[in-house]
Amino acid sequence: MAQDATKQNDSRSGLFFSEPHVAGFTHRAFTKAMGFDEEDMQRPVIGICNTYSELNNCNSHLRELAEAVKRGVWQAGGFPMEFPTISLGEIYLSPTSMLYRNLAAMDTEEMIRGNPIDGVVLLTNCDKTTPAALMGACSADLPAILLSGGPALNGNFKGQMLGACTDCRRMTAEWQAGTIDDETYKEIEGSVFRSRGHCMVMGTASTMNSLVEALGIALPGNGATPATDAARIRLAEQAGRRIVTLAQEGVRPSQIITRQAIENAITLVCALGGSTNAVVHLPAIAGRLGIEIPLSLWDEISRRTPLIANMRPSGQFQMEDLHFAGGIPAVLRELLPLLHGDALTVTGRTLAENVANAPIHNRDVIHALAEPLQPEGGLSILSGNLAPDGAVIKQSAATPALLQHRGRAIVFTDVEDVRARINDPDLDVTPDDVLVLQNSGPVGGPGMPEVGILPIPQKLLKQGVRDMLRISDARMSGTAYGAIVLHVAPESAIGGPLALVQDGDEIELDFANRRLHLYVDDEELARRRTAWQPPQPAFGRGYGRLYLQHVTQAPQGADFDFLLGNDPVKPMEQPKF
Ligand code: FES
């Protein structure tokens, strides 16, 4: 059945394998060296972009999924070729994985662009791997399906459900407060993460790997099917089969991830009480397709979208429970009146068609639109003289009383300052004060680390205090909770008003009016601005220097300015001899 490999077809791989003279000869000969023959080379080549890494626990099972994707690709008449890209592990990477998200996106884009592939399955899981892969794939704009590795099983300690890493923080606070002993703390450490997969509360990975279903770029079931469930392997095989058709039909991410699809994704995030990190990642993904998402759109959608998923850290349940309740298809079905149901997805059907018959098995987990947990979504956008370009709060995970709060600022100039002083018994701090962290944004962090959840001072923990109003230009983990204002823009390291706050200033969070106000008059602020000095750049060379020169602010997605937009891949071009 082998065909003449020199016969030209106009796919990227077809042109590559059928080039005349020595170019085609070497392309075929070196592929045959791996044990493939000319019949294989007649098939569409499907890249499997794998972020497997042992330095990324959440992605350490992706080899098995890659094998299942390959089976699907072969079954559908494709030729799978797996390749690695940078893997960003939330736990191991220093100073923060976010510093490298754009680097990973560049790696993904250029590997797609440079290799003779006709379509790609993006294998991701941990927080940054999903947006990075999507950003790169959107810029390359070659047919793509995203398949994540899935959430880990629920943690369990003596019958009590645990979730990473909501309970990592909660239990550490209890241990610091002296309410649990060293031995119990150690036992919990071995019980919180029971299996492969990503963090199992509605953290950043759960949010991103769920919202790709609403974007239409992942198959239904991607968000909540547990990493260790056989259904996840079947999903991988289906993705392998489906990408071959998408490659043959030439359906590109730009035809899937439209403005309507992005609005669908924001609606889902609001209904799930999803991670604030989505407010940075989604604009970065959209920006690669030339779509601007103003922060005001988040607030507009959040106000009309009820919180219907009862998920930690805002609610009670975790991803395994959501899977058994019907998963993301069930949530999307409930949300259909608020969605653009006619948006096209990678299944070849519309979003509404995908979820039309999705069963909802547990109304404690997925509430009805008419009986929501909260009438509005979990996230909101704030503005005011302290955040002229906006800030984000996850009010669904905050102590309600702190949402209308005015207090005295206790200012920390950076993370080191927090470490040095937060537990100092002499720190002049009360539960009504507002903890302010500067120099932790995209430039100042650098990399906008997840340090927005400033620890409660130990002396207040011992008094029973578990939440305080905290404000910074940093991000926080999606698994975190509390009255925490994040992503303040412009950030302090480039001279945003946050840089001018001093100990003792009064700050007010007026959530009802979405307002964040610094009670210092303009004259005094102008005086302070004249005296202000920017911090020393964190890097003088290498990738870090490139990062500092080109990173945008949080509302623009903290992408690099030169990566905005896309440049769809063309047929392979190589110098000919
Ligand atoms: Fe990877 Fe939490 S550490 S998702």
Bridging pattern class, strands 45-50 and 387-393: unpaired
Whether 199 is in the pocket of ligand 1, judged by its Cβ within 6 Å, is yes
Q: Which of 126, 201, 319, 475 to mutate to test the pocket of ligand 1 (most atoms within 8 A of CB)?
A: 126
Predicted pLDDT at 480: 84
Give the Cα separation of 396 and 387 in Å (integer).
21
439-483 pLDDT, tens per residue?
999 999 999 999 999 999 999 999 999 999 999 999 998 888 899
> Backbone dihedral region of 572: left (phi > 0), alpha (psi from -120 to 50 degrees) or beta?
beta
Beta-strand (E) ranges in 139-249? 144-148, 155-157, 160-162
Give the Cα separation of 487 and 489 in Å (integer).
6
Region 119-145: what's the mean pLDDT? 98
CATH of 398-535, one of 3.40.50.2300, 3.40.50.720, 3.30.930.10, 3.50.30.80: 3.50.30.80
Split at pLDDT 50, 70, 90, the class of 1 is very low
Tell me which residue has its CA closest to atom 2 in ligand 1. Answer: 199
Bridging pattern class, strands 484-486 and 469-472: parallel
Cα of 213 from ligand 1 centre, angstroms: 19
CA 124 to the chain's CA centroid: 11
Predicted pLDDT at 566: 85
Split at pLDDT 50, 70, 90, the class of 282 is very high
DSSP 332: H
Cα of 90 from ligand 1 centre, angstroms: 6
pTM: 0.95
Q: Which two tokens stand for residue 443?
A: 């430039």
Cα of 474 from ligand 1 centre, angstroms: 18
Predicted pLDDT at 557: 98
Predicted pLDDT at 567: 87
Whether 198 is in the pocket of ligand 1, judged by its Cβ within 6 Å, is yes
Bridging pattern class, strands 380-384 and 387-393: antiparallel
Q: Which of 358, 329, 199 is nearest to 264 (CA)?
A: 329
Cα of 572 from ligand 1 centre, angstroms: 36
395-420 pLDDT, tens per residue?
988 999 999 999 999 999 999 999 99
Predicted pLDDT at 576: 58
Split at pLDDT 50, 70, 90, the class of 500 is very high
Predicted pLDDT at 4: 45
Tell me which residue has its CA closest to atom 3 in ligand 1. Answer: 90
Q: Which two tokens stand for residue 89?
A: 């592990």
Region 547-573: what's the mean pLDDT? 91
Predicted pLDDT at 573: 60
Measured CA to CA in angstroms, residue 297 lies from 216, 373, 384, 397, 555 at distances of 20, 22, 17, 21, 11
DSSP 426: T
Q: Which of 451, 429, 432, 431 is nearest to 440 (CA)?
A: 451
Q: Which two tokens stand for residue 556?
A: 């623009």
Cα of 204 from ligand 1 centre, angstroms: 8
Cα of 58 from ligand 1 centre, angstroms: 6
Cα of 332 from ligand 1 centre, angstroms: 24
CATH 3.50.30.80 in the chain: give the residue spans: 398-535
Q: Which of 92, 93, 162, 198 to mutate to test the pocket of ligand 1 (most atoms within 8 A of CB)?
A: 198
Rg (CA), the chain: 24
User: Is the Cβ–Cβ distance between 212 and 223 less than 8 Å?
Assistant: yes
- In the chain, the percentage of residues whose pLDDT exceeds 90 is 92
